[in-house]
Amino acid sequence: QSVLTQPPSVSEAPRQRVTISCSGSSSNIGNNAVNWYQQVPGKAPKLLIYYDDLRPSGVSDRFSGSKSGTSASLAISGLQSEDEADYYCAAWDDSLNGPVFGPGTKVTVL
Amino acid sequence: QVTLRESGPALVKPTQTLTLTCTFSGFSLSTSGMSVSWIRQPPGKALEWLALIHWDDDKYYSTSLKTRLTISKDTSKNQVVLTMTSMDPVDTATYYCARLTAVAGTNGYFDSWGQGMLVTVSS
């Protein structure tokens, strides 16, 4: 059972917007940066957002991250079929002395 | 261009020790701020962090698995090795190595991943 909480799944129609929440505690999200990873089925995870709200080069600006207190969110706007994937939040946990991943959220484009 | 590749046995028997090697290119583990980690994913399940080694040889382990794990590096060969003892069928998973990049004073992020390799534990 992960120390980070994410909804198991979200779904929305093409061109719409979805938001994925990630809830933690003061030992992880509340005191450390949040990173988001996208995993297309059968592939390795890919860095999507780092340090709460920064996008690596090459990542579409349709993806955005935010954080407030012990929670973080990933928003995907202009949803496309290629966005169907599992999305994981992650943060360093000071109590566990290592990074922790959320359970993942499956995004389905209707 | 940063690349990482995992190698090791695809099948191990219960109670055996698993040894995985991550061979990387495009960066040096002797550079400040660079680290390499192992992460696994059981079929259909979430990612689970296992171990991390920093450029200065500082090491961190998952609290739930630390008695079974050892991580080491060979900077001259650009390799990081993970050993996991007492393998069990529940350890069946895809094992990934990933580079962790960190700005001074932060814990960093996994910005490059290997393709992963499936390790099955079965007699």
Distance CA B109, CA A35 (A): 7
* Residue range B8-60, pLDDT digits in tens: 999 999 999 999 999 999 999 998 889 999 999 999 999 999 999 999 999 99
Distance CA B73, CA B58 (A): 11
Distance CA B89, CA B23 (A): 26
Please tell me which of the candidates B47, B61, B109 has its beta carbon nearest to residue A50. Answer: B109
* Residue range A33-87, pLDDT digits in tens: 999 999 999 999 999 999 999 999 999 999 999 999 999 999 999 999 999 999 9
Residue A12: is it exposed, middle or buried by C-beta count within 10 angstroms (0-12/13-18/19+)? middle
* The pair of three-digit structure tokens given for residue B49, joined into one six-digit string: 């962090």
Nearest CA in chain A to B44: A41
Determine whether the interchain pair B46/A90 forms a contact, defined as Cβ–Cβ distance below 8 Å. no
* Residue range A12-21, pLDDT digits in tens: 999 999 999 9
Pairing of strands B59-61, B48-54: antiparallel
Asked if the model's pLDDT at residue B103 lies above 80, the reply is: no
Please tell me which of the candidates A44, A102, A103 has its beta carbon nearest to residue B116. Answer: A44
- Mean pLDDT for chain B? 95
Sequence letter at residue A49: I
